[in-house]
Amino acid sequence: MGLRETKKVQTRQAIAEAGMGLFVRKGFDRVTVAEIAREAGVSEKTVFNYFPTKEDIFFDEVPDRLEALAEAVRERQPEQSLVEAMHELHAKQCSRLASPGFAHFARTIAESPALQAKEIEVMALFTDRLAAAIQEELGLHPADAQIAANLLMSVHWQFFRNAREHALAGRSGPTAVRRLRRDLERAYRLLEHGLGALETASAG
């Protein structure tokens, strides 16, 4: 990147870090954009140039996560199925989501209705991006791509909720990583084999 692009990245990161620090200390709903601007050493206008809403500051990693979803579809190995690629993507996130620092993130969401509402928007955005990548890569009918994305994102969202539940309960480190991996294995087995397998196991 050139100097201008580098400066933009640094400014965006400074705003996001300032915001997260304040959110953790004070709670999301009690922090103003003006406070974030002062903490980051920029104007309020600059904050809004990078983040349309205060919620977007909290979810500052969304653009990177969107790209990661698309890459998981586009760059999977020739012999790797779509489900396997998504499973691999999620498995790589287990350590991060089982870290002590993630507990601050989880607690902030749990205490803020505004962030919980924003999370629903974020998951819808993820689903649409994933559907577009699936349609483009596999050449599916748009409706089929959307169905596939909905199913895959249901696992994604439950995975994130499980991680938050463990974090809020004070579970982190290797044990929490193993639990998250077990949760993923169970979810992807169900996704691969269908609800019929679940009903058969229940009847048995």
Same domain for 108 and 93, yes or no, is yes
Q: Are residues 76 and 20 in the same domain?
A: no
In sequence order, the 6+-apart residues with CB closer than 8 A to the CB of 76 are: 82, 84, 85
State the pLDDT at residue 201. 46
Asked if 39 and 82 sit in the same domain, the reply is no
- Please indicate, yes or no, whether residues 30 and 8 belong to a single structural domain of this protein: yes
Based on the fold, state whether residues 10 and 89 are members of the same structural domain: no
Q: Are residues 117 and 167 in the same domain?
A: yes
Specify whether the backbone of 41 is left (phi greater than 0), alpha (psi in -120 to 50) or beta.
left
Same structural domain, 95 and 40: no
Provide CB contacts within 8 A for 123, sequence distance 6+. 153, 156, 157
pLDDT of residue 202: 44
CATH of the domain at 72: 1.10.357
In a shared domain, residues 73 and 35: no
Predicted local confidence at residue 200, as pLDDT: 52
Parent domain of 184: 61-203
- What CATH number does residue 21 fall under? 1.10.10.60
CB 160 within 8 A of CB 62: no
pLDDT in tens, the chain (204 residues): 688 889 999 999 999 999 999 999 999 999 999 999 999 999 999 999 999 999 999 999 999 999 999 999 999 988 899 999 999 999 999 999 999 889 999 999 999 999 999 999 999 999 999 999 999 999 989 999 999 999 999 999 999 999 999 999 999 899 999 999 999 999 998 888 776 555 554 444
Distance set, CA 179 to CA 84, 118, 159, 166, 174 (Å): 19, 27, 11, 9, 9
Task: Return the percent helix, strand and coil in the chain, to nearest 5.
Answer: 80, 0, 20
Residue 127 CA, distance from chain mean position: 11
Distance separating alpha carbons of residues 202 and 186, to the nearest angstrom = 14
Give which of 171, 36, 159 is closest to 102, Cα–Cα.
171
Number of domains in the chain: 2
